[in-house]
Structure 1
């Protein structure tokens, strides 16, 4: 998952030619905002990203074309297999659309970014060591076949599956019908559903869970719906991932002296003007979302009211004391202050 930088695209294609390279939809939205204005186009972009079937993707693309032909042409140039769930393969078993996982990791390294390289590496090593211990504590408190997150997803899927009816054709195909005209075909022999959610994420969708219940009523050896989840979501796999540890090391004063004759000197540093910035640069989406928050109304009896609106600037009203309300600290009288009190000049 990357932000569509040309250098990253070439590097991934060269270093990992068989990897599935996806683009962050949030960064695609940033690029779209710089060319096309309007919330309708941004919402249409996210609808395209959340589509799970090619038919649904084509329908949303036609809707975008009716809204703006130039925007439709710009979006169509981005390969859909890199940013839309409708064209994702089942290799990764993940339907994430943004690189928030990388952003979360980067946010934990803010305090160590301006440190020297060895200090920065030590900061990362200590953070990863603490993170593994934190996850191991969660694993000890967890129980069941699936991880807590997968269990939460399955519970919500079961609630949705209770509203669906299933028609069996006598083999491995099932027709599942639900509310709002939702009707899909499930093939239990190939572990596929027409909505492609099971294929993309590895977790049975509401159509598949309804089929499992009907099939389980006929054959009790089918098992629970949780047994149809891919092994990557099981507790055993979670424990195996965090079975590797990051070990502590001694301080720099106890490190052995390097026997390499070459000594790498620090590069010449040219100090830039101004204070170094530690906070990251916000994207256009974050800047616009921060400026479009509704301003609170100022209720001060004619002092003025803030105007509510998206992106509107509101002039702040400064509250001042009424004229002649100052109290002198020397004589205690009102109308002047201690500096201009006449008692100071009485002598």
Structure 2
């Protein structure tokens, strides 16, 4: 835990974070990290990667049904829905229900997220993707590795700026795609207006939620958690626009963090090139740091990280439970909508 505390303190110094900072961390629940975050940043939120929770579940409870139950709990957006799914899990296995109950839902279920982060991300795939881009530089000396990271970031920023130049509209391409799918779903909903700022929205499957346009909230909590209006809110905006022409389009109700303007601001900071090693100024520090003793192990060093049990299974099986050889086998495969794609 002390090592994690030291790391978080250094991170706070680099990002100008103090103990009152309200950042959101996501981790794999490494030993000592949970306690370290609570001590160094007591006001921050700490989310647990659901993918790693399902890996732990598989080691204790065999069967795809338990992993599916975890994902249903994680994707719930209301506390009532979460309690119903927990009730179903209890009927399935009291032991599994007790195991899941020990993990506080505010760390891994959307139903208990505060909405402060304006993100419903459940896995730390962003970190894994960045880590995969640094594989070729991991075996290099420290300065060479830092140079490798700096050059990668320079290329990454330029590539994103090219995408920004080709994009148009109020929202980012990701938020635009979400809004288009939400609009298609909103067409199937009916509303009852109370004459003020409250709307009762009913869907074809019997789901019914109350939208409060004064507080910008919906009973399903998707708007609150992600900052993007849900289908209930979009249907309410259309009805409100029919009575007030100054309401605007549904895109105008999206949180500013999803706008093109904010996206441009994020990538307005550049990583600058530097001269070669031969042009670096000499250090006048009298202390000479010698290289540590190094014992070269037998065999070729491994570059790839150690894969989890679930990743090994996904690498050797397909969606229908077939190995790469084409022979059918009886295995449990996680659905494509719930597994992280490492690239």
User: Normalising by structure 1, what TM-score?
Assistant: 0.85
1:76 counterpart = 2:101: yes
For residues 113 and 204 of structure 2, what CA distance do their matches in structure 1 show?
A: 26
Stretch deviating more after TM superposition (75-84 or 275-284): 275-284
For residues 99 and 290 of structure 1, what CA distance do their matches in structure 2 show?
A: 19
Cα drift, residue 268 of structure 1: 0.9
Please point out which of 37, 40, 46 is paired with 1:21.
Answer: 46
Q: What is the count of residue pairs matched by the alignment?
A: 304
Residue-by-residue CA offset, 1:25-65 (whole Å, 9 max, x unaligned): 00001111111101111100100000000000000000001
Residue-by-residue CA offset, 1:241-298 (whole Å, 9 max, x unaligned): 111100000010100000111121111112222221111111111122234441478x
Please point out which of 217, 221, 240 is paired with 1:192.
Answer: 217
For residues 159 and 7 of structure 1, what CA distance do their matches in structure 2 show?
A: 46
1:309 counterpart = 2:334: no
CA contact (8 A) 1:292 1:310 kept: no
**Structure 2, unpaired ranges of 5+:** 1-25, 333-343
Cα drift, residue 74 of structure 1: 0.3
Residue aligned with 1:180, SS: coil
For residues 39 and 262 of structure 1, what CA distance do their matches in structure 2 show?
A: 58
Give the structure 1 partner of residue 113 of structure 2. 88
Give the structure 2 partner of residue 285 of structure 1. 310
For residues 285 and 279 of structure 1, what CA distance do their matches in structure 2 show?
A: 16
If you compute each CA radius of gyration, which structure gives the higher value, 1 or 2?
Answer: 1
1:235 counterpart = 2:260: yes
CA contact (8 A) 1:161 1:206 kept: yes
Please point out which of 55, 58, 62 is paired with 1:37.
Answer: 62
Please point out which of 158, 180, 183 is paired with 1:155.
Answer: 180
Alignment of 1:169-248 (within 5 A): 169-248=194-273
For residues 251 and 183 of structure 1, what CA distance do their matches in structure 2 show?
A: 63
> Aligned pair in 2 of structure 1 residues 225, 57: CA closer, same or farther (>3 Å)?
same
User: Normalising by structure 2, what TM-score?
Assistant: 0.86
For residues 203 and 16 of structure 1, what CA distance do their matches in structure 2 show?
A: 28
For residues 164 and 188 of structure 2, what CA distance do their matches in structure 1 show?
A: 33
CA contact (8 A) 1:291 1:310 kept: no
Give the structure 2 partner of residue 113 of structure 1. 138
CA contact (8 A) 1:176 1:207 kept: yes
Give the structure 1 partner of residue 19 of structure 2. none
Q: CA RMSD in A?
A: 1.4
Residue-by-residue CA offset, 1:217-252 (whole Å, 9 max, x unaligned): 000000000000000011111111111100000010
Residue aligned with 2:205, SS: helix
Give the structure 1 partner of residue 289 of structure 2. 264
Residue aligned with 1:144, SS: coil
Residue aligned with 2:46, SS: coil
Residue-by-residue CA offset, 1:106-138 (whole Å, 9 max, x unaligned): 010000000000000000000001100111111
Relative contact order (C-alpha < 8 Å, sep 6+): which is higher?
2
Residue aligned with 2:81, SS: helix
